[in-house]
Structure 1
Amino acid sequence: MLAEVPTTVRHKAEAERRFGDFATTYFEAMWAGDPLADAFVADFPALGHGKAMRMLKKACQAGVDSVPDAPASLRALFAQLDDVPEWLDLEVIDRDSAHIGRYTRQSGIVLGAASLVSGYANSAASRPLEMTGRYIENAGARTIEVGSWLVEVSKTGGLERFSSGFELTVRVRIIHALVRAALREDPEWDLGAWGVPICQAFLGYTLIEFCLIPIRGMRAIGAPYLPEEEAAAYARWRYLGHLLGIDETLLPRDREEQERLEDIYLLTRPPVDSYCRDLVASINSEFLVPEIECLLPARPARLRRAAKPVVHGLERVFLGDQIADELGIPQAPRTKRIIERVGPAIARVNAALDRYPRTLGPRTTLGERYRVKQDHRLRTKYAVQHDLVDESPGDGLPHPARA
């Protein structure tokens, strides 16, 4: 077995006993970045940041052959991106997930209170957010950025080669590489303690955050996906992991492999620190609680005051009490019990509706209308008109992804 792991890793011996060779693969992944994306980013100083990003976008939109003087690193990156895996079937993915938009309201709740928060229970994985210094100051903006990406890649045709979802995913990959390059040069980055910034192991957990955890979370609050929709989600995120540069040895193919990756991640994750708790407090106070308040009637006033316990109860249902305690999420026993009791009842109603295929289209249309309306409202409220951080106008804080 592998002798050396980052010093913040916990329960190494137990992981090796439980997971065997996969533990070796996982621990080795903590020392690995993304060679193809990292090589292209290494050319940024010579190319110029702005020119390099324009080259990247043109290659996404028209193919790498359309880019004059494309460096070898960009051509190598797109050789991988343009090599469609034999296991990919976009037609089946689009067909089987055509109506997931009927649960737009619920998916927004799960994104904020489950997907994003779950990633903060790991101090090493959260460290890049801390050192780039952006999220606590503008939790709303970053949540909107993540949501923009997820909307595009979840659309019908959102994973096609020349779609905006494809381009956004490739840009996310390069943003990761830009942050990785900056932090590797930062004397405050403790390589021995945390491994490589945005390492393969923690990058792999991104798929858990946006696939396995949301599927469970949606079921918990009464919005269960159909079996074929769940299968399409695992297939979609397998391909997204491929586009994000996750090595095939770590890339989960289905629910069982996502669960295995989640299990070893949770077992060995570095302990929560004060910054992790600050991240959760920030997304709660600056985004989730105000958004829940908007959904509740203004009168009587006590209903608006229920927003905090509702958010805390949801997070405890989604994350479990142990992780919620570590993250400093306040207890909300009454709200949690209500969610745990009401969720299955709502799920039975939605499952009954789902048995009538003719209801799926109208419900999906309503969900899409709601999404468009909420997207406009949120972007206006938080003054966000860009898609990802590399296009953000700047908020007084430097970021490696911005020119």
Structure 2
Amino acid sequence: MDALRREGDPAADAVITDLVSSGKVGEVNRILREFNENDQPIPSDLPPAVRAFLQATDVLPDWADASRIAGAHDFFVDDGMHVAIVLAYGAMVSCYAAPAPSRVLSITHRLNQPHRRLAETCQFVVNMMAPDPFGSGGSFVPTIQKTRMIHAAVRHLVRASPQWDEARDGVPICQEDLLGAMLIFSVHVIDGMRRLGIAVTDQEAEDYYYIWRVAGIMLGIRPEIAPESLAEARETNALLLERHLGASPEGIELTRNLVFFYEEMIPGKAFDGIVPAMIRQVVDPSVADALQVPNPRVWTSLTAVGSRLMRQMERMEDDNRAARAVLDKAAQLLLTGSVRTLADGQRAVLNIPEGLQHGWNTAGASTGRPGCPEAGTPGGASASP
């Protein structure tokens, strides 16, 4: 693990070094904004280094199993709203419990932008959970490739900053950080769903981790360090938590800003306590304590009771369409609010891939489940450097 802190992503880092030295960063940004679909030819007017990178990284691991990837999609069609709740309330907070990545956000002036990070995370996940996300008709491969270049650009920027102490913190967004983030968005999400009382079968959990492992390797994680099974992933996650869990001024501020962002979406002040209570329900208690998440006793107790009721309703779902409708409507409303605001009161449009939107709508028609929230242009948008 110590060695992984000294290693970035050599292939992507070389591309950014070339672009910075040639002064073509702005030009590449402009071109890549229109490069959003797996089926699109790589733009011919990109610099050779960028074209070579996009060609080399448009390849699935040779062991990737289409049936496991399809299993993750089926799980997300059934429980995507609940996944999004834990991503919003748990995964982001867990990321802030590591001081070094929190310092990266401080240097890049993103401490006070939880809305943007939430929207980007949700968009990444829904692109990943589309039917056949790596194949024809999907939009996930360009999303991965551009995210990988964004990470390299941030590494370049942060390493040049006098605020970054590489001797102490290693390379920013290093291999260990990338591995930790993959485990947070997979292992922590499954565990958080179960803490909420959401029923997740062992096979669903394994498939959900599996697609994250495929995506993580395509994001530049060295294949040999990505755990092969969910059980191994949990062991690695526990090791990383032991190595890096700790309070930092940046992590505490990031968490405070996230809590404030959610509380601002709830009218009035009477229900503000539900936000920290929800966070405490879905994250490890040591993480919540380290980041000074408030502990409103009444709301924490009510949230725990709600989770027990959720378990009962989940058991009723297969036989009770009314229970399913109530449970999923609550999840839909919370997710819709979580992606509604991007900045200064503007609405965030979450672009749901067409196949995933169809799956949610079909499920809604047959079981009483709601359709997807804030659906925008089918196909999904992706980040640009």
Provide the TM-score with structure 2 as the length reference: 0.80
Give 1:1-400 correspondences, 5 Å limit. 26-45=1-20, 46=22, 48-53=24-29, 58=35, 61=38, 67-68=44-45, 70-72=47-49, 74-76=51-53, 78-79=55-56, 81-136=57-112, 138-160=113-135, 163-269=138-244, 271-286=246-261, 288-291=262-265, 293=266, 305-308=270-273, 310-354=274-318, 377-378=340-341, 381-384=345-348, 387=381, 390=384
Do the aligned residues in 2 keep the contact of 1:223 with 1:346 (CA within 8 Å)? yes
Unaligned runs of 5+ in 1: 1-25, 295-300, 391-400
Q: Retained in 2: the 8 A contact 1:99–1:361? A: no
Amino acid at match of 2:4: A
Is 33-42 or 254-263 further displaced after alignment?
254-263
1:315-357, Cα deviation, whole Å (9 max, x unpaired): 222223332222111122333233334313322331342479x
Judge which range, 205-214 or 158-167, deviates more.
158-167
Determine the C-alpha separation between the residues in 2 that align with 1:305 and 1:236.
40
Seen in structure 2, the aligned counterparts of structure 1 residues 212 and 227 have a Cα distance that, compared at 3 Å, is same
Q: What is the letter of the counterpart of residue 49 of structure 1?
A: V
Shift of 1:59: 9.4
| 1:160–1:250 CA distance, 2 compared to 1 (3 A) | same
**Alignment TM-score, normalising by the size of structure 1:** 0.76
Distance 2:106 2:46 in 1: 36
How far did residue 374 of structure 1 move?
Answer: 5.5
Q: Deviations over 1:180-204 (max 9, x none)?
A: 0111111221001110011110111
Count of aligned residue pairs for this structure pair:
352
1:377–1:198 Cα change, 3 Å: closer
Asked if 2 retains the 8 angstrom alpha-carbon contact of 1:284 and 1:311, the reply is yes
Following TM superposition, by how much is the alpha carbon of 1:131 offset from its aligned partner in structure 2, in angstroms?
0.3
- Give the Cα–Cα distance (whole angstroms) in 1 for the partners of residues 187 and 271 of structure 2: 28
Could you tell me whether the CA contact under 8 Å between 1:312 and 1:332 is conserved in 2?
yes
Task: State the SS of the aligned residue for 2:59.
Answer: coil
Distance 1:51 1:326 in 2: 42
Q: Distance in 2 between matches of 1:59 and 1:312?
A: 36
Q: How many angstroms apart in 2 are the aligned matches of 1:103 and 1:65? A: 34
- Retained in 2: the 8 A contact 1:204–1:246? yes
Structure (1/2) with the larger helix percentage: 1
Would the aligned equivalents of 1:169 and 1:243 in 2 still touch at CA under 8 Å? yes
With over 3 angstroms needed to count, the CA separation of the structure-2 counterparts of 1:68 and 1:59, relative to structure 1, is farther
**1:101 CA drift (Å):** 3.5
- d(CA) in 2 for partners of 1:372 and 1:278? 23
Paired residues of 1:55 and 1:67 also in contact (CA < 8 A): no
Query: In structure 1, how many angstroms separate the alpha carbons of the residues matched to 2:293 and 2:333?
Result: 29
* Distance (Å, rounded) in 2 between the aligned partners of 1:340 and 1:364: 16
Structure 1: distance between partners of 2:302 and 2:334: 26
Q: What is the distance in 2 between the residues matched to 1:252 and 1:112?
A: 24
CA change 1:99–1:32 in 2 (3 A) is closer
SS at match of 1:262: helix
Counterpart secondary structure, 1:129: helix
- CA gap of 1:30–1:364, structure 2 versus 1, over 3 A, is same
Cα 1:311/1:90, change in 2 over 3 Å: same
Taking only aligned residues, the RMSD between alpha carbons, in angstroms, comes to 3.3
> Over residues 53-112 of structure 1, what are the superposed CA-to-partner deviations in whole Å (9 max), with x where a residue is unaligned?
356565965567653564246414532x23322221234322453252343443332112
CA contact 1:101–1:367 (8 Å) conserved in 2? no
Q: Is the 8 A contact 1:211 1:233 kept in 2?
A: yes
Cα pair distance change 1:59/1:290, threshold 3 Å:
closer
Q: Distance in 2 between matches of 1:111 and 1:315?
A: 10
Return the letter of the residue paired with 2:44. Answer: V
**Cα distance in 1 for residues equivalent to 2:39 and 2:230:** 34
Partner of 2:363: none
CA distance in 2, matches of 1:336, 1:371: 18
Q: Quick one: distance in 2 between partners of 1:320 and 1:59? A: 36
Question: What is the identity, as a one-letter code, of the residue corresponding to 2:27?
Answer: K
Q: Which stretch of the first structure deviates more once superposed, 361-370 or 159-168? A: 361-370
* SS of 1:109 mapped into structure 2: helix
Give, in whole Å, the separation in 2 of the partners of 1:323 and 1:376: 24
Q: 1:33 to 1:354 in 2, by over 3 A?
A: farther
Q: Which runs of 5+ in 2 are unaligned?
A: 351-380
Between the aligned partners of 1:270 and 1:193, the Cα distance in structure 2 is 16
